[in-house]
Structure 1
Amino acid sequence: MMHPMSEPLFPEYLLWIWFALTALSVAYVAWDLFTSTPEMKVMKYGWVLVTLYTGPIGLIIYWFSCREPSPGTHEQFIAPLWKQTVGSTIHCAAGDATGIIVAAAITGYFGLSMGVDIWLEYAAGFAFGLFIFQALFMKDMMKMSYGQALRHSFLPEWVSMNAMMAGMMPTMVILMSRDMRAMEANSPWFWAAMSAATLVGVVVAYPVNYWLVKNKLKHGMGTERALGKGGAPIAEDPGHPAHSTAMAGMAGMHHGVPPEKRETAHQGHDMAAMPGMDMSDGAQVSGLRKAVVTLLTLAMLAVGYYLAARYGDLNMRPGEPMSMPMPMPAMPGHSM
């Protein structure tokens, strides 16, 4: 017999309303990105995936942090550090959350305990984020080989993944403990739990990504006009609305620079013009600071595991009743 707390937390029709709003949000974000907003290609797919997981909330974040308000203004619009950090966090969530969700959908069919599942999901999220969304998709932008991109991305991806999982783990376990239908990928409650977990993961991962972007250890929001594969640098397109702004920046950058050195300065303009995208100074961050932040994210992961174990059931398996009853809070005017 399942514990009463396995009853759904809200009516199922609200769940389907959320899914409908999510479909509309994904459709709009995909349409806007591939027709109007000149975001980098990898980030276009990242935004679509994250909006699929976070629904209307993802659309709101996209609207205020990435959507180009008018032609030629994307570079200026995404320049603030907080928006650069949103881009970094979305990139992290697109890779890590996708790996976690795919792993959770697969492991559910093997009847593994939640205590085993969460670490398989952690490994899958880290692998998907590092090997695909970071190293594979970003190697051309970083002008590195795949092996170099792996080494460059390992630490930023690891600390981002720790923070992401610190938020997702307890959310998934607690929600699945309250309604075990959420452990099975063929249930709408599974996707509701994953949506909630991704939202919490994004919130927890944001401060870590802020530190990474600020210290140029991870890229932020970008634009295909300067950085995307096949995107022409703005300064080379006189007909582009943003050309005059870019040329003004180039003029200021070249003022007082000898002619023989201007070509080198011009080559670096595309990266330098995009805050958060020039990661050349990341190597200046001391090993001690990196170690401290890494330990901090591991502590966050440990707290997430504690919350999952304390308020959820790590021994539960799909299709079985919980091994430990969840404590039920007393309702006002009712005795236990």
Structure 2
Amino acid sequence: MAPLLQSSQPWVEKYRPKQVKDVAHQDEVVRVVTNTLETTNCPHMLFYGPPGTGKTTTALAIAHQLFRPELYKSRVLELNASDDRGINVVRTKIKNFAAAAVGSGRQGGYPCPPYKIIILDEADSMTEDAQNALRRTMETYSKVTRFFFICNYISRIIEPLASRCAKFRFKPLTDEVMSSRISYICREEGLNLDSKALSTLSSISQGDLRQAITYLQGAARLFGSSISSKDLIRVSGVIPGEDVQALFSACKSGNFDLAEKEVGSIIAEGYPVSQMLSQLYDMVVEADDVSDEQKAIICKKFAEADKCLVDGAGEYLQLLGVASNTMRALCNMPQEFSFGN
């Protein structure tokens, strides 16, 4: 294959930390894993936490620091969300890889311990049957294989698997850490990002550094080296605050025709209703002039509408239903109906 051109390389990969010590804002994880690397006595590991906080990066960095490049492919098996990871994959691909014996001994400055590593990214999407099938594989081949599980929700990993692993919790990145990393990338790429745009990028990515870098690269390709706050909002798909406020104000007015007009405008603009629900939720929760009881009623309707959207319901009717029920709650009208599927 031809080498990847610098200009076409995703910045997420270009600026991915290559060593564990370079992972940002996960000091406790870095300290423990660094000690593990020094002894090469690596247990099964479970990395969990919000997306874009360094879980996959840490797992890959451990594998790269343990094995020299020529051995990496034969010693490390990576399975991610694009792979079928049902029970058949566990019984064939994973089991066959885990069963193969390996040598040991330091080679070319790398520890090269006597085991292989299987990295299961987004392990919380594996079926329960597949997870149960992994238990026996982990026990049988524990001398020659280590498993790294990566997930967003540890509650979706069955207890027998979780109890066999050393658990590492990854915290959401702070605005300071996000800003520092984004500023570094801007300097490297020759981008001009003012303080308002930097703050906007941190806000819309919600602690997900991977998402922030993706937005930044998209904006750079579309708008050039000088990027504004509005450019980042357009790239991210976040609905402008004034449009969210307009719908919320229409609901507070008690005028159904006005609310229906705002709903029609949002649908006509092509904004995703799930995104509108998310931003409306933030606005309702932070509103000082809305009582706790009203907030509870409104948020319950948001949850019902979100579930209907996941099940394939129409966006217009769901948003109209949310607007109507929000209006009833804010204006203390009887809650008589809701829009279902």
Using the size of structure 2 for normalisation, the TM-score is: 0.28
**Between Structure 1 and Structure 2, which shows a larger proportion of strand residues?**
2
**Between Structure 1 and Structure 2, which shows a larger proportion of helix residues?**
1
Report which of the two structures shows the higher radius of gyration computed on alpha carbons: 2
